[in-house]
Structure 1
């Protein structure tokens, strides 16, 4: 790759990363990406982190994921809206699980992309599974940390055993949210991959 091509590619990478960071902030701070419920907030603000990891790479995905994590931390401090939101003032709840989203999505995608490279739909399968894994990393990572750190406080605050409350929250939304995130991620990743390849 020539120096000019490298510069163009780097500019595209920075541009897409900046767009994903901006989109994360929009989703995190508006009802578009954050639905406040009495029990828990439902979010799709981690979708840009998944997309960035799959299209741009692990480091770019990590930057976008941290944007989401620190946005969650800020919202927990400034505008808690659900029973569980006050616990997100702890970075182990709000930031750490979000930092793992691009890691699991990226390596799932890379592994499946390599394993399924001779399969006609291998690329699409890799993106779909990676999107699902990234979403589940967010969901189960957050709830796992909530349980191991704040089980007693959750019981005192909600009047329900923490495990029961968490299982209810997961079973209510996870399947539908995962399907929705896959439907968003697949076409966006494919479009951005074409954008990244153009002009090389």
Structure 2
């Protein structure tokens, strides 16, 4: 009897955690909290629920939450456009890297058992994935949209990666470590 009940509780818990993190992602994506303007670019904290989902519930949950993040990136590009929003209309830029956060964060955590390492790798997956796709698909157009020399697109994108990426990693390590520790304590109770 107990094992049957335990089997039925696990999917419910996973569903609740997924719903909670999806709700947080939707809230962040629907408000200025999720996409923080820094000039024409936007820093983000929307990768945090993806990483937390990867650590707490695995890669499939995290990929789903990453999909929400990516879709909201596209919605932001339409609803609150900047001069560089055109790049976020492409799902290869806006969605794919956000879904990959869940995979890299999960496998990093599985190998290291470190929420800080998972947060770092997940955040870098977002930053490098998005900016790498921008460079590969739109490098010169992106630089031109920012009024920069098209021949220096790589340096421009590397500068954005540094400016946005380092603070995003620091915030991710602090928040993900604290939240996952709290969730694990609750889970044991």
The TM-score, its normalising length taken from structure 2, stands at 0.92
**Whole-angstrom distance in 2 between the partners of 1:101 and 1:107:** 10
Equivalent in 172, 175, 181 of residue 181 of structure 1: 172
Larger mean CA deviation between 184-193 and 44-53 belongs to 184-193
SS across alignment from 1:31: coil
Contact 1:109/1:127 (CA < 8 Å) preserved in 2? yes
- The corresponding residue for 1:84 is 84
Indicate conservation of the 8 Å contact 1:38/1:83, yes or no: no
Q: Which has the higher helix share?
A: 2
Alignment-derived partner of residue 152 in structure 1: 140
Pairing 1:58-77 to 2, within 5 Å after superposition: 58-77=59-78
Structure 2 segments unaligned to the other structure (5+ residues):
none
- Cα RMSD for the two superposed structures: 1.4
Q: Bigger shift: 35-44 or 158-167?
A: 158-167
Cα distance in 1 for partners of 2:164, 2:10 equals: 38
Aligned residues: 185
Distance 1:194 1:57 in 2: 18
Distance 2:38 2:89 in 1: 18
- The secondary structure found in structure 1 opposite 2:62 is helix
Structure 1, residues 20-74: CA drift from partner, whole Å, max 9, x if none?
A: 0010111122122211222311110110000000001111111111110111112
Q: Which residue of 2 aligns with 1:28?
A: 29
2:17 equivalent in structure 1: 16
Give the equivalent residue in structure 2 for 1:123: none
Cα distance in 2 between the residues matched to 1:152 and 1:175: 24
| Distance in 1 (alpha carbons) for counterparts of 2:74 and 2:34 | 16
Q: Cα deviations across residues 171-190 of structure 1 (Å, max 9, x unaligned)?
A: 22322221111110011111
Preserved CA contact (<8 Å) 1:9 1:196? no
Kindly report which structure 2 residues correspond to 1:164-179, keeping only aligned pairs within 5 A, or say none: 164-179=155-170
How far is the alpha carbon of 1:94 from its aligned partner?
0.1
Deviation at 1:9? Answer: 2.2
CA shift in 2, pair 1:37/1:83, >3 Å? farther
- Aligned partners of 1:73 and 1:89 also within 8 Å: yes
Which TM-score applies when normalising by structure 1?
0.87
Unaligned runs of 5+ in 1: 114-125
* Aligned partner (choices 112, 119, 140) of residue 131 of structure 1: 119
